Amino acid sequence: MLTTKDFEYDLPEELIAQTPLENRSSSSLLVVNRQTDELTDTTFDHVLDYLQTGDALVVNETRVIPARIFGVKPDTGGHLEVLLLTNTHGNQWECLVKHSKRAKVGTVIHFGEDARLKATVVKELTHGGRIIEFSYEGVFLEVLESLGEMPLPPYIKERLDDPDRYQTVYAKHNGSAAAPTAGLHFTPELLEQVKKKGIELIPLVLHVGLGTFRPVSVDNLEDHEMHAEFYQLSEESALKINQVKANGGRVVAVGTTSVRTLETIACENNGKLLASSGWTSIFISPGYTFKAVDALITNFHLPASTLVMLVSAFYNREAVIAAYEHAVAQKYRFFSFGDAMLLI
């Protein structure tokens, strides 16, 4: 039986990318052929060499909101950092609070010099998160834009000069607490080349939430519980994907979020893709049988993370760890602003 430790690998800290490259598509790309086990080192602007006319490129159009906000408790003057994860309903959000022991139920927090955004903790969650209810005047996202920062992962220490570099060029739908990072490598010019080659560009949405931040804290993978994230696949997108499949084309998922959305829907509909929206907590690990995805573009992920486990399920654990070790030896850049892998 596989344990969490089976998905660890050694990563020198200097290989953790701190800033995005000037040109998105100049990232390195490791192409992994699952049939031959061959590894090919190239750059992302050559990704079309491995995609075929008639394939479908499925992208996650979620947009990251400036979800990290800094507030003060008016009764004590204590400072709190709040990360918005999921809009549960109305003005209530599931949040992570730094130093959460200081955020008991009933705690009031003010944000901004004029307290233009106020909040009250209404519930403590078992995983350490909080349900917080916000009050404000005007449009919430506009208030958030004026107060918040991009919620960069904790392993990124450098300041991000251009917040748009933590968005994909096709981001449309506000709601994520983290970027679907595999898509960060695409430029408008590269997407035009995708279309010119006769490859369908098909959108879906999965708002990235706590599942991305939550480490695997159990040894037995069967005991890990994924946090639910909201997804949506339109009827038009479902029809296009099914048509590509029927014509013998491949479904190429851009990112693990696209994979989880497609596989969630396929699992619920006997392998078929239908228009659907809802919440998914699917956890894909070795032993899972893929029903929708034929190829995968993804970044290099944290050791022993659910994302490494998903990629290992798509290929096999030993080969994925070997590919990661190859990437380390070749000094690829890792994690959110890092390089990419294409598994075909």
Strand pairing category for 117-124 and 130-136: antiparallel
Residue 120 and residue 99 in one domain = yes
Pick from 247, 299, 271, 232: which is nearest to 55 by CA? Answer: 247
How far apart are alpha carbons 153 and 222 in whole angstroms? Answer: 26
Question: Is residue 308 situated within a structural domain?
Answer: yes
Pick from 175, 176, 99, 174: which is nearest to 130 by CA? Answer: 99
Residue 142 and residue 166 in one domain = no
Question: Is residue 319 situated within a structural domain?
Answer: yes
Contact status, residue 286 vs residue 312, Cβ threshold 8 Å: yes
Pick from 287, 173, 153, 255: which is nearest to 214 by CA? Answer: 153
CA distances from 3 to 7, 213, 326 (A): 8, 20, 22
Token reading at 48? 């079309």
Residue 22 and residue 99 in one domain = no
Question: Is residue 263 situated within a structural domain?
Answer: yes
Contact status, residue 263 vs residue 272, Cβ threshold 8 Å: no
Q: Does 308 or 154 have the greater pLDDT score?
A: 308
Residue 166 and residue 142 in one domain = no
In the predicted model, what is the mean pLDDT of residues 224-228?
Answer: 86
Q: Tokens 């959110």 appear where?
A: 336
Residue 173 and residue 60 in one domain = yes
Say yes or no to pLDDT of 214 above 80: no
How far apart are alpha carbons 212 and 272 in whole angstroms? Answer: 26
| Model pTM score | 0.93
Domain end: 93, 112, 147, which one? 147
Contact status, residue 321 vs residue 311, Cβ threshold 8 Å: no
Domain end: 147, 176, 210, which one? 147
Summarize pLDDT for 230-288 with one digit per residue, the tens.
Answer: 999 999 999 999 999 999 999 999 999 999 999 999 999 999 999 999 999 999 999 99
Tell me how many domains the chain contains. 2
Report the mean per-residue pLDDT for the chain. Answer: 95
Residue 16 and residue 133 in one domain = no
Predicted pLDDT of residue 210: 67
CATH of the domain at 310: 3.40.1780.10
CATH of the domain at 123: 2.40.10.240
Range of the domain at 276: 4-64+162-343
Residue 60 and residue 81 in one domain = no
Predicted pLDDT of residue 128: 80
In the predicted model, what is the mean pLDDT of residues 151-170?
Answer: 94
Predicted pLDDT of residue 213: 59
Residue 239 and residue 332 in one domain = yes
Predicted pLDDT of residue 231: 97
Question: Is residue 49 situated within a structural domain?
Answer: yes
Say yes or no to pLDDT of 211 above 90: no
Residue 274 and residue 329 in one domain = yes
Q: Does 214 or 134 have the greater pLDDT score?
A: 134
In the predicted model, what is the mean pLDDT of residues 101-106?
Answer: 91
